[in-house]
Amino acid sequence: MLTEEEISMVLNTYMYMNYKEAEDGMTLREILEEVQKLPEYQEGGRYYGEYSVVSEAAGDDRVGEMVIGSQSHLMGFDDGTCACTFSSKENDEVYVVYRGTGDGEWPDNGLGMTREKTLQQERALTYFETVVEKEGYQEGNRVIVTGHSKGGNKAQYVTMTTSYDGVVSACYNIDGQGFSEKAIARWKRSYSDHEYEARRSKITGIYGENDYIHVLGRSIVREDQTYYVKTPVAVENFAGYHDIKYMFAAPGKEQGEKTSMIFSGSKNSYVAEPGLLLACAAALSAEVMKMPEEKRDGAAAVLMQLMELSGKKKRGQNGEVLTKKDVEDFYGAGIPVILKSLLLTEEGRSVFFRLFQGRNLEAEMEGRQFVQIEKGGFDRALMVSEELLAGLSDCFERLERIQKQIPFWFRLGSAVDNRIVMQMNFLDGKKRELVKMKEKLQEIRGIYDRMDKQMEEEMAL
């Protein structure tokens, strides 16, 4: 029998099936009977993994007999809101589910790291309170608010902000990011300490062991209500670390150099500690949150706009566009923070080598779509790495000079000499690591140079 948190995760997975033809009042089983005939949901199809998770879970009557309702796109809400309810057959249990980042919502994610509230968060709140009033939910009902990624952020926002606090029984935040200091300060001003903690205690955080999104911003989830789920994702599948269906995945048969995945209707086990990529992302987020608010706002805007390029809309859901100052903040403050986290932290260096060491980057990029970026960023990265190398070399040479000044008879077996040798070995190891990183940066820079040259030659023909 599936637990409440597992049902929340399954319903969040359903939201990524992107099936808009379901009618309010249909059971989940009835919806699955319709979609199984469509190519996108069959083996090899775009949504086969999500379909497999939901279909397997629907074998449990508690899930299969759930009824969909209050679909936001049928209520006049914008595409970004993307929410619905699932009610038990007896209507004594209701899940309010928010989908993750929709097309045009990435800039709103960035604003959530500096603003007290965002338009999309407020629209999620309006949706919830509209549904509560429409359906007449009372404190006696079991109402669970949940969402994945940006949906998880919205679910938390609703739980912390709604005037119908008594209606919310629990909140399950799946991989959802945190908030700005302003947002948290607003809640602490608005409520007594007891009420703030009472709302916060309703939130359970469930994250992939290497998820890199939920660490953005300041978390309000209690540590004792935070859990990490095993996600068996191939190293090269970076997006998979934030893909909810991999919380239900297990390695299958080997197919050449790749291993197929089997998706079940039961979530994977929890792990004791988060993974290396998550630790690296947390270190980066911590550095970003230390930036002055106005520069953090601009740097986040650029990063989120780059993410938005993968969708159809080239500007935000609410008309957000980049300014010259945003770009200046990104290059002046954002890139140094990213490089510091990647090159100077143990987690960052480990992730860098895990992702890139020993791989032919140019061969892997061939035939793929990617975003052309301003090459000056690579030049600045190379300059920083050269400065770091120079600093490490200078420290190494100073220690070497100090060691040579120690009399030979005093060196043998002395703690001072041993300590110096240990420090020299440490610095030498860091120098070698940094040289390899610099070589990879030069390799990537070279790829862009060759592609620019190829494009120039093609345009000249």
147-163: pLDDT as tens digits: 999 999 999 999 999 99
- pTM, whole model, 2 decimals? 0.71
| pLDDT tens-digit map of 93-140 | 999 999 998 766 667 777 888 889 999 999 999 999 999 999 999 888
| pLDDT tens-digit map of 245-293 | 999 999 887 665 666 889 999 999 999 988 877 776 777 677 767 777 6
Question: How large is the average pLDDT for residues 74-78?
Answer: 94
Calculate the CA 66 to chain-centre distance.
Answer: 29
What are the two backbone dihedrals, phi and then psi, of residue 284, each rounded to the nearest 5 degrees? -65, -45
Alpha helices in 191-275 (DSSP H): 193-200
| pLDDT tens-digit map of 315-365 | 545 544 445 554 454 445 555 555 555 555 555 555 555 555 544 444 444
Q: What percent of the chain has pLDDT over 70?
A: 70
Mean pLDDT score of the chain: 80
Which pLDDT value is given to residue 299? 56
> SS3 for 424?
helix
The region that residue 70 occupies, defined by phi over 0 for left and psi between -120 and 50 for alpha, beta otherwise, is left
Q: Which residues lie below 8 Å from residue 204, measured CB to CB, with a gap of 6+?
A: 5, 170, 171, 172, 173, 221, 225, 226, 227
Q: Which residue has the higher pLDDT, 8 or 100?
A: 8
Which pLDDT value is given to residue 321? 46
User: All domains of the chain, ordered by start, with CATH?
Assistant: 4-274 (3.40.50), 283-460 (no CATH)
